[in-house]
Chain A
Amino acid sequence: MATIPNSIFTPTTAARFDKLATIYPVKRSALVPMLLYAQDEIGYVSDPVVAEIAQRLDLLELDVRNVLSYYSMLRTVPAGKYNVQVCTNISCMLRGGFELLDHCKHTLGIGHKETTPDGLFSLEEVECIGACCWAPAVQVNYDFHDDLTPEKMDAVLDSYRAREPK
Chain B
Amino acid sequence: MPTLVSHPDEVKVLSKRFGLGAADIDKYIELDGYKATQKAIAEGPEWIINTMKASGLRGRGGAGFPTGMKWSFVPKVSEKPKYILVNGDESEPGTCKDHLVFREDPHAVIEGTIIAGLAIGSKMGFIYLRGEYRYLLNIVEKAVADAYAKGFLGKNIFGNEGVDFDIITQTGAGAYEVGEESALMESLEGKRGIPRIKPPFPAVVGLYGGPTVINNAETIANAPHILLMGGEAFAKLGTERNGGTRLFGISGHVERPGVYELPMGYSLRKAIYDVAGGIKDGKQLKAVVPGGASCPILKADEIDIGLDFDQMAKAGTMLGSGGIVVLDETVSIVEFALRTIRFYQHESCGWCIPCREGTDWIKKTLTRFHAGGGTKKDIDNIQYIADNMMGRTFCPLGDAAAMPTLGFVKKFRSEFEDYLAGARPANPLIQIQPVGEPEHAGAH
The 8 Å CB contact of A70, one of B175, B258, B289, B440, is: B175
Q: Does B174 contact A (CB under 8 A)?
A: yes
Chain B 429-441 near chain A by CB (<8 Å), digits 1 or 0: 1110000001110
Known A91-B325, A94-B252; 20 more pairs at CB < 8 Å: A25-B124, A28-B191, A29-B188, A33-B173, A70-B349, A71-B172, A72-B174, A73-B173, A90-B293, A90-B343, A91-B323, A128-B92, A130-B130, A132-B325, A133-B249, A133-B250, A134-B3, A135-B257, A144-B2, A147-B3
Q: Does A127 lie within 8 Å of B346, measured CB to CB?
A: yes
> What's the nearest-Cβ distance from chain B to residue A29, in Å?
5
Q: What mask results when residues 150 to 179 of chain B are scored 1 for a CB within 8 Å of chain A, else 0?
A: 000000000000000000101111111000
Cα-based distance from A25 to B212 in the complex (angstroms): 14
CA distance A35 to B168 in the complex (A): 17
Q: Which residues of A contact B (CB under 8 A)?
A: 23-26, 28-33, 35-36, 57, 66-67, 70-74, 88-91, 93-95, 98, 101-102, 111-113, 124-135, 139, 142-144, 146-147
User: What would be 25 A-B contacts, judged by CB atoms less than 8 Å apart?
Assistant: A31-B190, A57-B190, A70-B175, A70-B349, A72-B444, A88-B339, A90-B94, A90-B340, A91-B94, A95-B252, A98-B431, A111-B439, A113-B444, A124-B443, A127-B176, A127-B347, A130-B90, A130-B98, A130-B133, A132-B94, A132-B249, A133-B96, A133-B259, A134-B96, A144-B2
* B392-444 interface with A by 8 A CB criterion: 429-431, 438-440, 443-444
The answer to whether B96 touches A130 (Cβ under 8 A) is: yes
Cβ proximity bits B174-197 to A, threshold 8 Å, 1 near / 0 not: 111000000000011111110000
Asked whether, in the complex, the Cβ of A135 is within 8 Å of the Cβ of B251, the reply is: yes
Q: Are A28 and B93 in contact (CB under 8 A)?
A: no
Q: Which of B293, B429, B439 contacts A112 (CB 8 A)?
A: B439
Known: A90-B336, A127-B176, A132-B251. A25 touches B192 (CB 8 A): no
Digitize B128-163: 1 where CB-to-A-CB distance is under 8 Å, 0 elsewhere: 001111110000000000000000000000000000
Write out the residue numbers on chain B whose beta carbons fall within 8 Å of the beta carbon of A139: 132
Residues of B within 8 A of A (CB): 1-3, 81, 90-96, 98-99, 124, 130-135, 168, 170-176, 187-193, 208, 249-253, 257-259, 289, 293, 323, 325-327, 331, 336, 339-340, 343, 346-347, 349, 429-431, 438-440, 443-444
**Residues of chain A lying within 8 A (CB to CB) of residue B430:** 88, 93, 98
Contacts of B99 in A (CB 8 A): 130-131
Best-buried of A35, A102, A132, A146 by chain B (most CB within 10 Å): A132
Q: Is A73 in contact with B193, judged by CB distance below 8 angstroms? A: no
Q: Is the CB of B175 within 8 A of A25?
A: no
Give the residue of B173, B250, B253, B257 whose beta carbon is less than 8 angstroms from that of A35: B173
Which residues does chain A contribute within 8 Å of B124, judged by CB atoms?
25
| A74 partner residues in chain B, CB cutoff 8 A | 173-174
**Least CB distance, B151 to chain A, in whole angstroms:** 19
Interfacial chain A residues near B258, Cβ < 8 Å: 133
CB distance from A114 to the nearest CB of B (A): 10
